[in-house]
Amino acid sequence: MMTNVPLLRMEGITKIFGGYKALDGVALTLERGEVHALVGENGAGKSTLIKIMTGAYGRDGGQMWLDGQSVNFRTPEDAQGAGVVAVYQEVNLLAYRTVAENIYLGREPRRFGFVNWKKMNADAREILERLGLNIDPRATLGSLNIALRQMVAIARGVSFNAKVVVLDEPTSSLTEHEVSILYDVVRRLKAEGVGVVYISHRFDELYTVCDRVTVLRDGRFVATRSLAGLEKIDLVCMMLGKRREELRQGTTAFRHIERRGDEAPLLRAENLTRGRKLNDVTIEAARGEIVGMAGLLGSGRTETARAIFGADRIERGEVYLEGKRLNLRTPGDAIDAGLAFLSEDRKAEGIIPELSVRENLTLAALPALSKMGIVNNARQREIVEKFMKRLGIKATSADQKIRELSGGNQQKVLLARWLCKNPKFLILDEPTRGIDIGAKGEIQALVGELAEAGLGVLMISSELEELVEGSSRVLVMRDGECVAELRGNQISQDSIIHAMAEGSAVQADQHVADDVSKQF
């Protein structure tokens, strides 16, 4: 009997991208009929690991066994042939083709060399029914809603006589009802002895459908645990790389002065709702206040920012600036109203690498600096000099190409780009990610100064230290909801983690109280 041999075992998996170790000795063991959660924050290496598992990437080290046999998949085709399939987050299917074709593409049943449409449709129907799905195999995929497309993707995976099915954030675009269909499908797979690797950011889901969890952080294996009996807070601690004991001791000094509550808020966002990504989020920020926003990946932090900034269409919700309701349909509207949004992805959304510091800095302000399409160079130079000095941007000259600058200085240029538009409210998404420690401090100090000068700031960050040190108030997001608001001496890494894990700050308060009593 092979029952003692795990279905799939990966040991010491290493992957290097141009000198950078995306995975470093990662291990994963999947049993038959097990639903195994794979979790980790940004850059943890989840996607890389499953891409190696399913043959999309080769590996630079380590070994992998399927049913006790050493395997090395060179292509997704290879992996599929062996029964290891991935259903990716962005549904990778063909919109113009039928459901049956999408399921059998590449393995169309044939008769006399021709595609046997009848058999293909019948087989597809059978597989869909096996998963409890009532979908017409002859329907064009594009005519189905996103949830059903996802189910078709899973059906395709199953049709390979899959032993291992990887579901990469399967629920990220599903409604509650659709999620329950997915759960049903996952349970059927489990009952058939299929091993499921389940990637999700939603704790409720993990605890509902998964048996065990493997945590990755920064490309390294942290732990594999049974979910039954694992406290959520311990899971969060593992994901963030914090020790619980350390957290309690590490509560910082309460040097923040809370802003006055009687003043009308500078910005108020009410009942922001967008699918399952944002559920009735309401936030407020006063002039001169730095509101920190915490939450795990996928908790709705960035979505909140994007909703306020008009970058995503929301189903419901309103945004008020200085008591005036804003009509936000595009980021352009938000900018005109006085909002600024320094996005998380500097490289993709921010800098234009081949242009100079000067050009990058004044890009957004060009209309104001130009008359009839001609840029007023003198004024441009003046502004650039002012901001380079004020923010301490280190460059050989304003004409240096921005790609030659360090990450911290690039970030300052982007900040300056927004500031020269004189915004009233600034949203920062991960302002110090990928920036060295020194520059980090400078940027944090800068944000503090800006707030002193009357700017309202919403600062999203994954770094608890940054939130604890830099915010006058911390909002904690979880599964698309704002679950906790921490003020003054409630703000600590521990309380934030608790709210992230449990969805409330109650227990956290307890800890803080303990700590406070210890301190005094």
Partner 1 sequence: MSQVGTTIEHGSTRGTVARAKFASFIQRQGALIALLLVCVVAALRYERFLTDANLTNILRQNSWPGLVALGMTFVILTGGIDLSVGSLLAVAGVVAAYLSGQGLIVALLAGVGVATVLGLINGVVIAKARIQPFIVTLAMMIAARGLALVVTSEDSVPVSRQATDFAWLGQGSLATLYIPGINFDFPLYIPVLILIAAFVVGWVGLNHTRFGRHVFALGDNEEAARLMGLNVNRTTIGVYTLSGAMAGLAGVILASRQGTGQPTAGVGAELDAIAAVVVGGTLLTGGQGGVGSTLVGVLLLGVIYNLFNLEGTISSWWQWVLRGVFLLAVVIVQNRLSARK
DSSP 264-279: PPSEEEEEEEETTTEE
CA angle 121–126–132, rounded 5-degree value: 125
347 sits near partner 1 (criterion: CB under 8 A): no
**Where in 451-490 is the site for partner 1 (CB under 8 A)?**
none
Size of the site for partner 1 (CB under 8 A): 30
- Pick the closer one to partner 1 by CB: 88 or 341: 88
409 sits near partner 1 (criterion: CB under 8 A): no
58 sits near partner 1 (criterion: CB under 8 A): no
> Which of 11, 60, 67, 108 lies at the binding interface for partner 1 (CB under 8 A)?
108
Shortest distance in whole angstroms from residue 135 CB to partner 1 = 14
Q: Give the count of beta carbons closer than 10 Å to the beta carbon of residue 451.
A: 24
18 sits near partner 1 (criterion: CB under 8 A): no
Shortest distance in whole angstroms from residue 415 CB to partner 1 = 35
Shortest distance in whole angstroms from residue 56 CB to partner 1 = 7
> Which of 4, 19, 70, 96 lies at the binding interface for partner 1 (CB under 8 A)?
96
371 sits near partner 1 (criterion: CB under 8 A): no
> Which of 42, 69, 72, 75 lies at the binding interface for partner 1 (CB under 8 A)?
75
Q: How far is CA 264 from CA 268, 269, 399, 457, in A?
A: 9, 13, 43, 15
Token pair of 73 as six digits: 């998949």
Q: Strand 290-294 to strand 456-460: parallel, antiparallel, or no bridges (unpaired)?
A: parallel
**Where in 126-165 is the site for partner 1 (CB under 8 A)?**
142-143, 145, 156
27 Cβ contact partners less than 8 Å away, ≥ 6 residues apart: 9, 10, 11, 12, 13, 221, 224
Q: How far is CA 303 from CA 176, 205, 276, 321, in A?
A: 18, 20, 11, 19
- Span of 106-114, 127-135, 272-280, 284-292 interacting with partner 1 by CB under 8 A: 106-114
Shortest distance in whole angstroms from residue 429 CB to partner 1 = 27
3-state secondary structure of 21: strand
CB 14 within 8 A of CB 61: yes
At position 436, the amino acid (one-letter code) is D
Shortest distance in whole angstroms from residue 94 CB to partner 1 = 4
At position 419, the amino acid (one-letter code) is L
- Pick the closer one to partner 1 by CB: 41 or 169: 169
Which residue bears the tokens 């800006």? Answer: 450
Shortest distance in whole angstroms from residue 356 CB to partner 1 = 30
Instruction: Report the alpha-carbon distance of residue 37 to residue 54 in Å, rounded.
Output: 16
93 sits near partner 1 (criterion: CB under 8 A): yes
422 sits near partner 1 (criterion: CB under 8 A): no
> Which of 42, 69, 72, 92 lies at the binding interface for partner 1 (CB under 8 A)?
92
If you ran DSSP here, which 8-state letter would residue 195 be given? E
DSSP 300-317: SHHHHHHHHTTSS--SEE
H-helix or E-strand spanning residue 52 = helix 46-53
> Which of 68, 69, 94, 264 lies at the binding interface for partner 1 (CB under 8 A)?
94
H-helix or E-strand spanning residue 111 = strand 110-111
Shortest distance in whole angstroms from residue 142 CB to partner 1 = 7
434 sits near partner 1 (criterion: CB under 8 A): no
Instruction: Report the chain's terminal Cα–Cα distance, integer Å.
Output: 63
**Where in 249-288 is the site for partner 1 (CB under 8 A)?**
none
Shortest distance in whole angstroms from residue 114 CB to partner 1 = 4
Site string for partner 1, 163-202 (x = CB under 8 A): ------------xxx--x----------------------
> Which of 25, 89, 97, 275 lies at the binding interface for partner 1 (CB under 8 A)?
97
Tell which residue, 410, 401, 403, has the closest CA to residue 443: 410
- Span of 18-26, 72-80, 215-223, 289-297 interacting with partner 1 by CB under 8 A: 72-80
- Pick the closer one to partner 1 by CB: 75 or 330: 75
Shortest distance in whole angstroms from residue 275 CB to partner 1 = 12
506 sits near partner 1 (criterion: CB under 8 A): no
- Pick the closer one to partner 1 by CB: 35 or 100: 100
Q: Strand 267-274 to strand 425-429: parallel, antiparallel, or no bridges (unpaired)?
A: unpaired
- Span of 5-13, 91-99, 191-199, 277-285 interacting with partner 1 by CB under 8 A: 91-99
Q: Give Cα 266 to chain centroid, integer Å.
A: 28
Instruction: Report the alpha-carbon distance of residue 364 to residue 342 in Å, rounded.
Output: 12
- Pick the closer one to partner 1 by CB: 140 or 400: 140
Counting Cβ atoms within 10 Å, is residue 322 exposed (0-12), middle (13-18) or buried (19+)?
Answer: middle
What is the SS3 assignment for 370-409? EECCEECHHHHHHHHHHHHHHHCCCCCCCCCEHHHCCHHH
If you ran DSSP here, which 8-state letter would residue 258 be given? P
- Span of 101-109, 187-195, 397-405, 416-424 interacting with partner 1 by CB under 8 A: 101-109
Give the phi and the psi of residue 427 in degrees, each rounded to 5: -110, 125
Shortest distance in whole angstroms from residue 146 CB to partner 1 = 12
- Span of 74-82, 210-218, 408-416, 468-476 interacting with partner 1 by CB under 8 A: 74-82
> Which of 110, 243, 313, 386 lies at the binding interface for partner 1 (CB under 8 A)?
110
- Pick the closer one to partner 1 by CB: 31 or 108: 108
Residues that bind partner 1 (CB under 8 A): 56, 75-77, 80, 86, 88, 92-97, 101, 105-106, 108, 110, 113-115, 117, 142-143, 145, 156, 175-177, 180
